[in-house]
């Protein structure tokens, strides 16, 4: 009786070992399947996010591109200095634009803003930080300001 029990016990251990091994493989396959799904979801999110960033018409808190009324490369004259002040934190999202003291109204949802002046008309460009712009132009103007003075045509 002892020998039969011992034999039965050895076979059970072997079967349990095979069962445990197959359970481990099943678990690994499920984990790999789940990782593939997670990777696929992340890939879709990245692709969808990249597609929305390429849309030129809506601004979701991103930096604006300011274009002048010139027909040549001069129309992008402001972009480098504006980017510098965005990076410094002097201006954020949708800064106030004042041309010769007159506030220029623009659609803040647009990424590209067309200004009604040309490069040759600009005399001085100044940037006001967030606190200075709110003191000068009112408490609601907390995004900084771009002040443009044109050449005096006297």
Task: Give 43-91 pLDDT, tens digit per residue.
Answer: 665 665 544 443 333 444 567 888 998 888 888 888 888 999 999 999 9
Instruction: Write down the mean pLDDT value for the chain.
Output: 75
The percent of residues in the chain predicted with pLDDT above 90, rounded, is: 24
Q: What is the DSSP string of 68-97?
A: -S-SSGGGGTTHHHHHHHHHHTSS-SS-EE
Q: Are 142 and 130 within 8 A, CB to CB?
A: yes
Band the pLDDT of 148: cuts 50, 70, 90.
very high
Residue with tokens 């201006």: 91
Own/partner pairs for 61-64, CB < 8 Å, 24+ apart? 61/93, 62/93, 62/111, 63/93, 64/94, 64/95, 64/110, 64/111, 64/112, 64/113
The pTM of the whole model exceeds 0.75: no
pLDDT of residue 63: 79
More confident residue, 57 or 32: 32
Instruction: Summarize pLDDT for 80-107 with one digit per residue, the tens.
Output: 889 999 999 999 888 999 999 899 999 8
Label residue 93 left, alpha or beta by phi (over 0 means left) and psi (-120 to 50 means alpha): left
pLDDT class for 109, splitting at 50, 70, 90? confident
Cβ-count burial of 64 within 10 angstroms (0-12 exposed, 13-18 middle, 19+ buried)?
buried
Q: Rounded CA gap, 134 and 103, in Å?
A: 13
């Amino acid at each position: 009786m002892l020998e039969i029990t011992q034999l039965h016990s050895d076979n059970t251990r072997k079967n349990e070992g095979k069962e445990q091994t197959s359970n481990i493989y099943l678990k690994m396959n499920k984990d790999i399947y789940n990782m593939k799904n997670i990777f696929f979801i992340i890939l879709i999110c990245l692709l969808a996010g990249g597609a929305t960033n390429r849309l030129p018409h809506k601004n979701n808190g991103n930096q604006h591109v300011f274009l002048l009324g010139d027909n040549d490369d001069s129309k992008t004259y402001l972009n480098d200095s504006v980017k510098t002040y965005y990076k410094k934190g002097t201006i954020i999202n949708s800064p106030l634009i004042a041309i010769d003291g007159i506030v220029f109204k623009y659609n803040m949802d647009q990424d590209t803003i067309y200004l009604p002046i040309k490069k040759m008309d600009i005399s001085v460009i100044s940037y006001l930080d967030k606190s200075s712009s709110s003191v000068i132009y009112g408490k609601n103007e907390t995004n900084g300001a771009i002040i443009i003075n044109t050449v005096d045509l006297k």
